[in-house]
Amino acid sequence: MQNNLVEVKNTKTIGSVIKAIEVLKVLAEFEDGLGVTEISNKLNYRVSATYHLVNTLRLCNIIEQDNETKKYRIGFELYRISSMAKSQNSLANIAQRHLDQLKEEIDETSN
C-alpha cells in the first residue's frame, strides 16, 4: 500500500474501501485464516475499525468465519465474483482459446 499512498492521496477515493481491499489481500496470504487482532496488527489498523471492516465483508459473504477457530478467510462470494471476472477479461478469453487448442492436441485436462 505504501507505494500507492501518494497516488491515493491525489485521487477521489473512499478510504474504507481501500482498507477493506487491504484486509482481503492479507487474508488471501493465510490459508488457515486470521483473527481480527491478527489482521489489525498486520495492517496497523485499530482493532475496532478492523472488526467493522471484517464484519461488513462477512455479512456480504466476501469472507467467512470458521466456527471453531473464529478466524476469517476468503469466502465463496469472492470466488464467484473472480470467476465472473475471468469471462469479462479479454486476455483470459484469448488465452482460453489457445489453452483449449493445446488441450485437444495433447489430450489432457487444462485450466
pLDDT digits (tens, 9 = 90+) for 12-24: 889 999 999 999 9
The residues facing 63 across adjacent strands are 74
Residue 79 lies in a domain: no
Question: Domain span at residue 95?
Answer: 84-111
Cα separation of 79 and 27, whole Å? Answer: 13
Q: How confident is the model at residue 105 (pLDDT cuts 50, 70, 90)?
A: confident
| Residue 95 and residue 65 share a domain | no
85-109: average pLDDT: 82
Cβ atoms 75, 82 nearer than 8 A: no
- Name residue, grid cell 477479461: 89
Q: Is residue 10 part of a domain?
A: yes
Q: What is the pLDDT of residues 49-96, one digit of tens each?
A: 999 999 999 999 999 999 999 999 999 999 899 888 877 877 777 788
CB atoms within 10 A of CB 57: 22
Task: Give Cα 79 distance to the centre of its chain.
Answer: 8
Same-domain pairing of 63 and 98: no
Number of domains observed in the structure of the chain: 2
pLDDT at position 6, please?
52
